[in-house]
Amino acid sequence: MTARRRTPAGTPALRVLAEAGVAHEVLAYEHDPRAGEYGKEAAEALGVDPARVLKTLVAAVDGTLTVAVVPVAGRLDLKALATAVGGKRADLAEPGAAERATGYVVGGISPLGQRTRLRTVVDSSALDHPSVLVSAGRRGLDVALAPTDLVALTGAVVAPVGRA
């Protein structure tokens, strides 16, 4: 009989955190399907400063899918994202392409545990906080962790890619 290793329950993002032994806190809230801005909904529902809640966006930089992790209180600077990875032009990816590449649905895309590991850029403002929140891989589920752990687990470049 072959021994089977049990995988921690939860989303791929939570499994990555558990397997890495990274300190984190899982935070759940009741997702409103009518919510238009998922990250702002999370900040409000959890009572957290929106500067600490990060959204995960997928863009195509010179045709290569790239993840940008920026505060929900701001916007992604596409030109800065392209520059951060040595590219010339960036455009937001089509939602279907983002979902296929990451394995998550829009509004629940996590920078952790993606189906295809995409190059990642985390906005430098994330390092201003002892902990940040990112999607845990499902709408209504976030995870709080140290920004340095987020950067290490995703192999991210840190650059100023967010703007107010």
We report the CATH number of the domain holding residue 137 as 3.90.960.10
Domains in the chain, number: 1
What is the average pLDDT value for the chain, to the nearest integer?
92
The reported pTM is 0.91
In a domain, 43, yes or no: yes
Instruction: Please enumerate in sequence order all residues whose Cβ is within 8 A of that of 29, keeping only pairs 6 or more positions apart, or say none.
Output: 41, 42, 45, 46, 140, 142
Q: What is the domain extent for residue 34?
A: 27-163
Query: What's at 103, amino acid-wise?
Result: G
pLDDT tens digits, 59-105 = 999 999 999 999 999 999 999 999 999 999 999 999 999 999 999 99
